[in-house]
Structure 1
Amino acid sequence: MKLYTRTGDTGETGLYGGARVRKDSLRVDAYGSVDEANAALGVAATLGETARLQGLQADLFVVGGDLATPLERSVPRITPEDTERLEHEIDTLEAGLPALQNFILPGGAPLAAALHLARTLVRRAERAVVTLCDAEPGQVNPETLRYLNRLSDLLFALARAANQSAGQADIPWKRTTRD
C-alpha cells in the first residue's frame, strides 16, 4: 500500500464512512488541531512522563477518530469515564503541588515548557471543536469538549509537577512597565 493516494490532490479528504469534505472544513480543522496537540505530546514524552503522555496520545487518537466519524457510525468514542479519569489525575497532582498565588508563565524545566505548549494546542483544538459544534449541532460527541477541557487542565498540572520534580519554581507573571 502506498503512502500517497492522490485522492486529496484537489483539496478534499475522506471522513470515516466515505463522505468527502474540503480539507479546510470545520471538522477537518477540529481533528487536525487534535493531531497537532498529539504531536506536541509526543515531543513532551521524549523529555519524561513517557507512559502517561503516550496514554494521553492514545486518547487523542480516539478523539480524532471520533471527530472524523459521523455519530451514526460505530467507532470508539471518548466517554465520561475518560474525562473522570483525567479529573482524578488532576486532583492527585494538585494535592502534591503548592497552591497557586498568581498567574504563571509557561516555561521552567524543558518538560514543563513542552507540556505548556501541548496545553495551548489542546486549547486550540477545544476552540475548533466548539466552532464545529456550533456549525453542526448534534453532530459531535459532546464528551470531546469536556475531555479536551480537562486535558488542558491536566497538562497545566503536569507542567507544574514537572517543574517541581526538576527543582524549578514556576515562573510567576509580573506586569512589566514600559517607558
Structure 2
Amino acid sequence: MPIYTKTGDDGTTAIFTKKDGRSIRISKSDSLIEAIGAVDGANSYFGIITSEIKQKTENKSLAKNIEEIQRDLFTVGAILAGANLELKKLRTEELEKEMDRMEKELPKITGFILPGGSEVSAHLMYARTLVRRAERRIVALTLNSYPLIHNSIIRYINRLSDYLFVLARWMNHQSKIKELKWKTK
C-alpha cells in the first residue's frame, strides 16, 4: 500500500473528533495542524539529537531518555489530533527529578547563557527553541478555538523545554566546556 492517499491534495487533512472518534477533514492551515506540526518538527529534531548522542558519547541512558521524549511527543501529537490517549503526569515528574539531579552538579546561573558548547549541547539548545515554539502553538489553541486541551500537555511541554536547557548545560559541564555568558558591548 503506498504512503500517499491523495486525500490531502485539496489542502485538508484528517483528525479525529473527541466526541465519537470519527475523522473529520480540516484545512492544513488550521491552528491545530500548526500545533501538531510544531510538535512533529521538534520530535524529528530529537532524532538528530539521539543520533548525535549515540555517535559522540557513551551515554546510552541519555539516548534512551531522548527516545522516551520522542514517544511522549508522538503521544502529544496524537492527543492534539483527537486520539483518546493520556499523557501521564509521571512523565513531567520524571523530567523534574532528572533536572534536580543534574542541577546539583551545575554551577549557579549568574546571567544569560549563549547556546553552544559541545555539538550535542548546541543541538539540545536548538531543540529547546523548537519545543518552545510548539508550546506557543498549543497555548494559542487553548486561547482560541480549542479550549479542551488538557493542562497536562502544556505542563509537560513547558517542563521539557526547561529540561533541555538544563541538559544542554549538564552536557557541557560533563565535557568540561565552559558556558559562554551573554554580555553587552
Partner amino acid, structure 1, of 2:157: L
Question: Which residue of structure 1 aligns with residue 164 of structure 2?
Answer: 155
Question: Distance between the aligned counterparts of 1:170 and 1:56, measured in 2?
Answer: 25
Cα-to-partner distance string for 1:54-113 (whole Å, 9 max, x where unaligned): 1111110111111111xxx62x22132221111111111111111111110111100000
1:117 shift after superposition: 0.4
Unpaired runs of 5+ residues, structure 1, are: none
**1:34 and 2:39 equivalent?**
yes
Aligned pair partner of 2:174 in 165, 168, 174: 165
RMSD: 1.2
Alignment of 1:19-30 (within 5 A): 19-30=24-35
Runs of 4+ in 1 over 6 A off after TM superposition: none
2:169 and 2:44 map into 1 onto residues whose CA distance is 20
Residue 100 of structure 1 pairs with residue 105 of structure 2:
no
Distance of 1:54 and 1:95 partners within structure 2: 24
State the AA in 2 paired with 1:44. Answer: I
How many residue pairs match? The answer is 172
Pair 1:134-2:139 in alignment? no
Deviation at 1:137, TM superposition (A): 4.9
In structure 2, stretches of 5+ residues that fail to align are 17-21, 54-61
Equivalent pair of 2:141/2:147 in contact (CA under 8 Å): no
User: 2: distance between equivalents of 1:155 and 1:18?
Assistant: 34
**Partner amino acid, structure 2, of 1:35:** D
Query: Residue 50 of structure 2 contacts residue 63 of structure 2 at CA under 8 Å; is this kept in 1?
Result: yes
Q: Given the two structures, how large is their TM-score scaled by the length of structure 1?
A: 0.92
- 2:23 aligned to which of 18, 23, 39: 18
Give the partner amino acid of 1:29: E
1:111 aligns with 2:120: yes
Q: Distance in 2 between matches of 1:107 and 1:40?
A: 16
Aligned-partner SS, 1:15? strand
Q: What does residue 2 of structure 2 align with?
A: 2
- 1:122 is aligned to 131
Q: Which has the higher helix share?
A: 2
